[in-house]
Amino acid sequence: MSSRNRLHIPLLSLALVVALAATACGGGSSAADVPPGAIAVVKGKEVSKAQFDQLIAQARKSATTNKQEFPAVGTPEYEAAKTKIVQGLVEQKEWELEGESMGLKVTDEEVETRLDQLKQQFFQGDQKKYEDELERQGLTDQQVRAELRSRVLSDKIYKAVTKAVKVTDADIDAYYKKNAAQYAQPSSREVRHILVKTQAQGAKIYRQIKGGAGFATLAKKFTLDEASKADGGKFTAFKGRTVAPFDKFVFDAETGDLSKPIKTEFGWHVIEVISAVKPETTTPLADVKDSIRTTLLQQKQNQAMRTWIANLKKKYGDEVSYAPGYAPAASTDTGTGTTTG
């Protein structure tokens, strides 16, 4: 992987847990329950200050590497970054605890396999390139392995939570009917046109074509429509998708008709109709059934995860204690994020 294509290791799955979870993290038990050296305790499991400090240091080094200014301690920007990291660490611990209660385990072999895949994907399996990139970003191999362990656990939780999600034929049929317009293709016609700025120029081009000049040759030389210029002004016009004067001529004309200059908001068009009208069509359900199933399955899986996360927040809401200065401000946000498996 080149130095510009950096290895992006989210802060302990913050990309997953923070994006998904509700941000209402206030409340919990007394700060007296948090021992020295920890910033929070989640149902008896500590979140160490050393872990927090490591992530702050990593974020600071990453900002420096990217020639960005890391916010100074005490500023609102720093507090926002600090809150995000604390939330991520606490939520990470909640996911770990819930994974245990679900009987989910992550083996060292699974982590090693994921790490090998990462090295192959970004570094062509070159250990030295991998280590150099970690140093450049202020990461350690231990951090990467912890992140990958978290990702494997997240994948297993996602699979467990969504395994019962099903999409029925009735669901697909209802979606197809509700989105019927999406599968309708209006009538169409092959045309050529030349777009110019003035009526006089359009009239001159019209006379040249009537006199035997090649339409495509003139279009490549004069048309202002860059989209069709390379094809000699040729394109497929769909009824109702072009400006009204253009649309009217195209779908009222006979095949082979050539228009005198027609004015639209874009300029003056000389249009030649070169095919019969192709009737409107509707894509059959059978042709899109699989894609609809995929769409609906993803939607249902995302909803299952949102419900699971909302329940997780409720379950651990009174089980989190923060050290002084680390408790995020209370929020009424209920979270609307989604995930992918």
Q: What tens digit of pLDDT does each residue of 125-147 get?
A: 999 999 999 888 778 899 899 99
CB 261 within 8 A of CB 200: no
Q: How far is CA 36 from CA 25, 120, 286, in A?
A: 21, 41, 63
In what side-by-side order are the strands of the sheet with 320-322?
45-48, 38-42, 320-322
Provide the phi-psi class of 103: left if phi over 0, else alpha when psi is between -120 and 50, else beta.
left
Alpha-carbon dihedral angle through residues 145, 149, 155, 160, given to the nearest 10 degrees: 170
Residue carrying structure tokens 């249902």: 300
| Closest by CA position to 90, among listed 56, 50, 40, 145 | 40
The pLDDT of residue 31:
60
Residues 6+ apart with CB under 8 A from 166: 300
Q: What is the pLDDT of residues 250-292, one digit of tens each?
A: 999 999 999 999 999 999 999 999 999 999 999 999 999 999 9
Q: In sequence order, what DSSP letters do the residues of 73-96 get, joined into one string? A: TTSHHHHHHHHHHHHHHHHHHHHH
Report pTM. Answer: 0.67
The pLDDT of residue 165:
97
Task: Estimate to the nearest angstrom the gap between the alpha carbon of 273 and the chain centroid.
Answer: 41
Cα–Cα distance between 137 and 62 in angstroms, integer?
Answer: 5
State both tokens at 189: 């016609």
Q: How far is CA 83 from CA 74, 157, 224, 330, in A?
A: 12, 25, 53, 11
| Closest by CA position to 190, among listed 276, 290, 270, 261 | 276
| Closest by CA position to 29, among listed 334, 329, 323 | 323
The pLDDT of residue 323:
92
Residue carrying structure tokens 């899986």: 301
CB 85 within 8 A of CB 11: yes
Where b means 16+ CB within 10 Å and e means fewer, 34-65 reads beeebbbbbeeebbebebbebbbebbebbeee
The list of the chain residues with pLDDT below 70 reads 1-32, 330-341
The pLDDT of residue 199:
97
Q: How far is CA 98 from CA 95, 110, 282, in A?
A: 5, 19, 47
Cα–Cα distance between 262 and 273 in angstroms, integer?
Answer: 14
CB 193 within 8 A of CB 227: no
Alpha-carbon dihedral angle through residues 239, 241, 247, 248, given to the nearest 10 degrees: 60
CB 319 within 8 A of CB 29: yes
The pLDDT of residue 270:
98
Longest dimension (CA), the chain: 94
